[in-house]
Chains A and B, each alone.
Chain A
Amino acid sequence: MFHFSNIVRTKGDPKILEGGPSLKRPEDQLARALGWFSIGLGVVELFAPRRLTATLGMEGHEPLVRAFGVREILAGIMSLSVDRNAGLWARVGGDGLDAAALLSGLTSDNPKKGNIALALLMVGGIAMLDYRAAQDTKPRRPPREARRKLYPNRSGFPKGLANARSGAKQIAAQATAERS
């Protein structure tokens, strides 16, 4: 059976003797860690919502937890992709939703409100990391309005554009005449 994992490099090809510096920055590693964390948390929320709601004393909110799980997984996948910045901002927004949902359960009659307070503390910490990573991984593309170099003199035709056009037309006319 075919698997991409079966691919191996060919014996005899050059081997690395000494590695050069990596382009990866610490913020890229942080984004990656947050992406995997997001997927892990999302899987738990999607497949074990009862355990979470019981821990938080918020029974009956399982559908919401499942929906948050899907959101976490999608944000995690995006955070691992080349569009990681969008994924991280999605996570920051998601942290806000998590906090709002947890606050709604922080009522005096909830016997697990201590757990909710702990969860809020964790969400706050993760939100700070998400925000930091989102700030640090901003795309380095120049803004649209940035002043750019233009290349109006680079025709690529040493004898000029007009010459290139007329040469082509002459050849085309010649070919048509030969056909007729």
Chain B
Amino acid sequence: MKALVWHGKEDIRCDTVTDPEIQDPRDAIIKVTSCAICGSDLHLFHNFIPGMLPGDIMGHETMGEVVEVGSGVDGKLKKGERIVVPFTIICGECDQCKRGNFSVCETTNRKRHLADKVFGHTTAGLFGYTHLTGGYPGGQAEYLRVPYADATHIKVPAGIPDEQLLFLSDIFPTGWQAAVQCDIKPTDTVAIWGCGPVGQMAIRSAILLGANQVIAIDCLPERLSMAEAGGATTINFETESVVGRLNELTEDKGPEKCIDCVGMESHVVSSLPDSLLDRTKQMVMLESDRPHVLREMIYVCRPGGIISVPGVYSGFSDMLPMGAFMNKGLTMRTGQTHVNRWTDDLLRRIEEGEIDPSFVITHTVPLSQGPEMYQVFRDKRDSCVKVVLKP
């Protein structure tokens, strides 16, 4: 089969690889009908997340049709059924899964000894990601083996196009969880840093959860226009002072809720000296993440407020203003997404026409063009916001 394979920094190729096979009774194989490139795939593309090996198959936003099931799937999944594959692999049986904390499933990381060493305790196995999270082959391919398939799936009905359902795999529940973690009240202002695909979903989620005002921060006109279309007031950080504008829009009190949809690769611009210093330190491996957004959120958030972090961080961040964080009594909520905790509700909202996540797609191309699209997406060429690949 064809698959997008990681060969090293900025080197992803469309290779021919062996087809996946059932390895465990709880496995299933799907024929992929649609998959997407995620912002966190770019962290792997840049080799900022440790633990990738040449030959690893990329991709964790995937859906398709079940073509083979293992004997242990127990009828929970049948050949021919249409499923979206959540990016977090879950067993459905461990303590964490029973609590709905699916992204920290205790069972599915098959290389948990690495995660135990690096993170202290293991988290769930993830598709198409670092070997710290199991090194499972990803779904930017013609076929995908789904481990623990009896639990790791979202069944979706026929009649709704892939484009509306695909993002249940990651970015829609990720944006949703980011907003839910904020405990949004009808009087709240929610400020969202980053108007990439997750930021766009977080904006819509905050609107659906009843925020009084949503403010979106980015520098790219196409993303800001999409954010405005979704109901946000926008701030272009290249032409305006983020702190000044946020205070102006909140009567000098600051937003009650702040969401970081940027993560470890925040923009480096000369007007933000800390971003330059972070990039230098990251380059010489003195720091793994560039936490400008975290610093700004802590500084501008209203005392007693909540900071929600769906943006990916990989290791160590310097110079976080813990004094402001502590004295202002802020709460920070983070985490990879507990996808299956949210997908029943989100699927219902899609079916009822409350939201159509396909609005974010700007490019649809064959899988074979995937490597070039990594560059287009990274370079923000052709006003690219979200790429869907068709095997």
Interface residues, chain A, with chain B CB atoms under 8 Å away: 2, 4, 7-10, 12-24, 28, 74, 77-78, 81-83, 139-142, 144, 148-159, 161, 164-165, 167-169, 171-173, 176
> Chain A residues with Cβ under 8 A from B330's Cβ?
none
Q: How far is the CB of A88 from chain B (nearest CB, A)?
A: 14
A17:B204 contact, CB within 8 angstroms: no
Q: How far is the CA of A10 from the CA of B21 in the complex (A)?
A: 13
A14:B17 contact, CB within 8 angstroms: yes
A161:B207 contact, CB within 8 angstroms: yes
Interface residue? B240 (CB, 8 A)? no
> Chain A residues with Cβ under 8 A from B1's Cβ?
14
> Chain B residues with Cβ under 8 A from A7's Cβ?
51, 53, 111, 114, 131, 135
A169:B210 contact, CB within 8 angstroms: yes
How many residues on B have C-beta within 8 angstroms of the other chain's C-beta atoms? 74
> Chain B residues with Cβ under 8 A from A2's Cβ?
114, 117-118
Interface residues, chain B, with chain A CB atoms under 8 Å away: 1, 3, 5, 7, 9-21, 23, 46, 50-51, 53, 55-57, 110-111, 114, 117-118, 131, 135, 137, 141, 185-186, 200, 204, 207-210, 220-222, 225-226, 228-231, 238, 279, 283-284, 353-357, 359-360, 362, 368, 371-372, 374-375, 379-383, 385
> Chain B residues with Cβ under 8 A from A155's Cβ?
229-231, 359
- B13's contact among A22, A78, A151, by CB below 8 Å, is which? A22
Query: Are A23 and B379 also in contact (CB < 8 A) when A156-B200, A157-B204 are?
Result: no
If A23-B10, A152-B228, A161-B207 are given as contacts, then 9 extra A-B residue pairs at C-beta distance below 8 Å, sorted by A number, are A7-B51, A14-B1, A16-B5, A23-B374, A156-B200, A157-B207, A157-B356, A164-B355, A168-B208
A81:B381 contact, CB within 8 angstroms: no
Closest 4 CB pairs of A and B: A156-B359, A168-B210, A149-B383, A150-B225
Q: List 12 A-B contacts (CB under 8 A).
A: A2-B114, A13-B20, A14-B18, A15-B17, A20-B371, A21-B371, A24-B11, A149-B362, A151-B222, A154-B229, A165-B207, A168-B209
